[in-house]
Structure 1
Amino acid sequence: MNKQLKIGIVLNTAWNIYNFRLGLVKALLAAGHEVYAIAPVDDFVPAIEATGCQFVPVQYLSRKGVNPIQDMRFGYELYQIYRSKELDVVLQYTIKPNIYGCLAAGRAKVKSISTVTGLGYSFLKEGWVNKIVKLLYKTAFKSGTRIAFQNRDDKKLFENLTLCPASKTTLIKGSGINTSHFKPIPKQKTYDKLIYLFVGRLLYDKGINELFEAAQKFKKQCPDTEIWVVGAIDDGNPSAVNKEEVAEQEANGTIRYWGVSKDVRSIMQEADVVVLPSYREGLPRVMLESLAMAKPIITTDTAGCRETIQDTKNGFLVPVKDAEALASAMLKMYNLTDEERKNMGKVGREMALQEFDEQAIIKRYFEEIQNMTS
């Protein structure tokens, strides 16, 4: 890309931009482009602005609300930003920026790449909301220039449901992982117990119920283990686990709950195995972090998750919603030697370097931008 462009990056939180797209922001700035981060204001704005990127706040984005008037106001707000900043390209992520951003970009005659980072509760749950979301996607993606998917399953599903034509779709495997930042780090402490770690929002569709059930079964057989849980209890989400249930599981010794961590590496380096029994993902960030840190994994045979595993090589694959199989995989992992688990971790690290390194993902976005602006 020789031409200098004005590029917007739109997400549902500034935290999201900082955590998942800062490498892309820096690469675009280094290539001489003007970059605008567009999101609601939160504590991460100063860190984003410190890169030299301009932050543009949005007022009307309600992440979980279903008020159509507010959503239309958000769409109009994006349209005004795209026009006033005279953007050449917008990169949009997460459900509402994808839908209303596509409509705004079409109207403002701005090229767009919308990345479907996962299908979310409203898409997966049958009912009237599901029907409306599909209709919104179909309408919005007519205005989008390019629609990127993080895994083949989601891409195929959208094409089969005719939510967007195959000619507009492409595959970009996740947000990428900084393999210099996330790398194998020796343990700081010596634990007598084998530690299994779950990292993610505490949602039923992340497989939390199955994790609790499997943990209870597994710990009866192997009491010299710990199951650590790290992540937010996402109260506003209809799929959220309630605080009382988490407290109960901790009180009966099934899990150890760490709350939210600002630096997941410090906890992950102490773990022996990382577990994600999710029902469906875009491309789970925690699995990429685990691979990069050379941790063996246990995850489900579902969209997004299966992209991160070679069954029995870097971990074990289990069916979705199957606590029995999950407990069995945890036992299999327990019965391996330290050396065997270490070798699994090495295979995962190699996968992270070959397939998911942040630089490879950034290169893909540069290629897409080049194709649509040359």
Structure 2
Amino acid sequence: MKLVIVTTVPETLATILRGQPKWLAQYASVICVSSSGRMLENVRENEGVPLEEIGMCRGINPIKDLTSIFRMWKLLRKVKPDIVHSYTPKAGLVTMLAAFFVGTKVRIHTFTGLVFPTSVGLKRWILVWVDRIVCAAATHVVPEGKGVAADLQKYHITPKPLRIIGNGNIAGIDINYFHPDKVDPVDVSGKRAFTFGFIGRLNRDKGLDELVTAFEGLRGSARLLLVGGLDESAPISDDTYHKIKSNKHIHELGFMDDVRPALAACDVIVLASYREGFPNVVIQAGAMCKPVIASDVSGSNEIIEDGINGWLVPPKDSQALAERMNCVMELPEEELRSLGRSARARVVERYDQREYRQQLLAYYRRAALEACI
């Protein structure tokens, strides 16, 4: 079985999908495709499978997109894969169209989150139709979670059957790697205080405006760790950026290849996103016995059960977020630990990487078999 896996940028292969192509290579001939980037060689070294470079831009750019589709068409025509599987929006558009024109029998696209529900005007219309084109060209559409599936149906993106692999997510989690006993916390200057953490791209849709505003309004002594690089495609506001830089209790740690030390240093993780597909950081935090305060949006609310392994707050509501953060700071230490233990137990039960990979392989085999009938 020849399998081509495509992501828009190599960071997806280097982080979320890390080790998955290498594992699949035991059962299939695997080729990965992504744009250039600083992590491309990292992927090549870690996965040990052929890696092709095809430029794909994240924004709307018809000329560059046509060039990418043509280059992908040439590659797929040469490789003649049995299955192509794309992740992330632009990789989906480029790969599904190229694979359709080549005639690849099994064309799978996974929606890891939808952008158009939080967009407006012409941009929203364009994004809706791009997703519809991707689905029309694909033979199999995989939503990352129930919320993504519901939106695909609600907005009539595709009439095709939608099937979530496993319990959601696109890779599962290595529960032995993400274990609280196997890593020391990152060293943060200053005296010990209750520590909140954010891990992800510093992107306006991640709710950084609300998080920083809520943090500034806390009653007690606390600190906030921010892990992730600034997202130039959708940056946080200048006002929020200034607040981050000027607040001595907010610590920017930048992008970290290994986020476990940052997770270990936190008491609670906060993800105040406006939208999500199926957030990896919530699963990673849970595996590290860290409860999460998350926006009540699709994906996050599929993982978090309020008061059991974390808490849910309305999105775009800095006051409600501040109230929850204040309440959490006042909880007895043993109650926090109990929530953390519940979080890990849920991750082990539902999102073990080993089980996910077996289900993914079964999905590929079934799709390939059905294509031959």
Supply the distance in 1 between the matched residues of 2:77 and 2:251 (Cα, whole angstroms): 50
Alpha-carbon distance, 1:243 to partner: 6.2
Cα RMSD (Å): 1.8
Which position in structure 1 is the counterpart of 2:113?
A: 118
> Which residue of 334, 341, 344 maps to 1:346?
341
Task: Answer yes or no: is the 8 Å Cα contact 2:147–2:277 preserved in 1.
Answer: no
Which position in structure 2 is the counterpart of 1:276?
A: 271
Which position in structure 1 is the counterpart of 2:75?
A: 81
Supply the distance in 2 between the matched residues of 1:157 and 1:242 (Cα, whole angstroms): 28
Which position in structure 2 is the counterpart of 1:27?
A: 23
Matched, 1:161 2:155: yes
Structure 1 stretches of 5 or more lacking a match?
none
1:159–1:248 Cα change, 3 Å: closer
Matched, 1:146 2:144: no
Supply the distance in 2 between the matched residues of 1:249 and 1:139 (Cα, whole angstroms): 40
TM-score by length of 2: 0.92
Alpha-carbon distance, 1:124 to partner: 2.3
Supply the distance in 1 between the matched residues of 2:326 and 2:239 (Cα, whole angstroms): 28
Task: Answer yes or no: is the 8 Å Cα contact 1:212–1:254 preserved in 2.
Answer: no
Which position in structure 2 is the counterpart of 1:372?
A: 367
Q: How many residues align?
A: 360
Matched, 1:214 2:203: no
Alpha-carbon distance, 1:62 to partner: 1.1
Helix, strand or coil for the counterpart of 1:211? helix
Task: Answer yes or no: is the 8 Å Cα contact 1:113–1:147 preserved in 2.
Answer: yes
Matched, 1:18 2:14: yes
The C-alpha deviation readout for 1:26-58, integer Å capped at 9, x for no partner, is: 221122x11111011223333333332001110
The C-alpha deviation readout for 1:91-146, integer Å capped at 9, x for no partner, is: 100001112211111111211210101113x5521111211121122123112111
Alpha-carbon distance, 1:246 to partner: 2.4
Alpha-carbon distance, 1:8 to partner: 0.6
Which position in structure 2 is the counterpart of 1:178?
A: 174
Alpha-carbon distance, 1:277 to partner: 0.5
Helix, strand or coil for the counterpart of 1:30? coil
The C-alpha deviation readout for 1:137-196, integer Å capped at 9, x for no partner, is: 2123112111111121211211232211142x1113113111111111365569631111
> Which residue of 132, 139, 152 maps to 2:126?
132
Alpha-carbon distance, 1:244 to partner: 6.6
Supply the distance in 1 between the matched residues of 2:240 and 2:18 (Cα, whole angstroms): 35
Residue pairs, 1:225-374, within 5 angstroms:
225-235=222-232, 237=233, 239-242=234-237, 245-253=240-248, 255-374=250-369
Alpha-carbon distance, 1:259 to partner: 1.9
Task: Answer yes or no: is the 8 Å Cα contact 2:212–2:243 preserved in 1.
Answer: no
359-368 or 273-282, which deviates more: 359-368
Alpha-carbon distance, 1:364 to partner: 2.5
Alpha-carbon distance, 1:301 to partner: 0.7
Task: Answer yes or no: is the 8 Å Cα contact 1:103–1:143 preserved in 2.
Answer: yes
Structure 2 stretches of 5 or more lacking a match?
none
The C-alpha deviation readout for 1:252-301, integer Å capped at 9, x for no partner, is: 34522222222211111111110001011011111111011110110011
Letter of the 1:217 partner, please give it: G
1:187–1:331 Cα change, 3 Å: farther
Supply the distance in 2 between the matched residues of 1:125 and 1:319 (Cα, whole angstroms): 19
> Which residue of 38, 52, 56 maps to 2:52?
56
Letter of the 1:9 partner, please give it: I
1:253–1:116 Cα change, 3 Å: same
Matched, 1:94 2:105: no
Task: Answer yes or no: is the 8 Å Cα contact 1:6–1:88 preserved in 2.
Answer: yes
TM-score by length of 1: 0.91
Letter of the 2:142 partner, please give it: A
Helix, strand or coil for the counterpart of 2:81? coil
Task: Answer yes or no: is the 8 Å Cα contact 1:183–1:292 preserved in 2.
Answer: yes
1:276–1:335 Cα change, 3 Å: same
Task: Answer yes or no: is the 8 Å Cα contact 1:215–1:254 preserved in 2.
Answer: no
Alpha-carbon distance, 1:363 to partner: 2.1
Supply the distance in 1 between the matched residues of 2:129 and 2:262 (Cα, whole angstroms): 41
Residue pairs, 1:35-54, within 5 angstroms:
35-50=30-45, 51-54=47-50
The C-alpha deviation readout for 1:205-243, integer Å capped at 9, x for no partner, is: 11111101110111xx102x11111111112x1x31156
Identity of aligned residues (%): 26
1:48–1:203 Cα change, 3 Å: closer
Alpha-carbon distance, 1:356 to partner: 1.4
Helix, strand or coil for the counterpart of 1:63? coil
Supply the distance in 1 between the matched residues of 2:199 and 2:261 (Cα, whole angstroms): 12
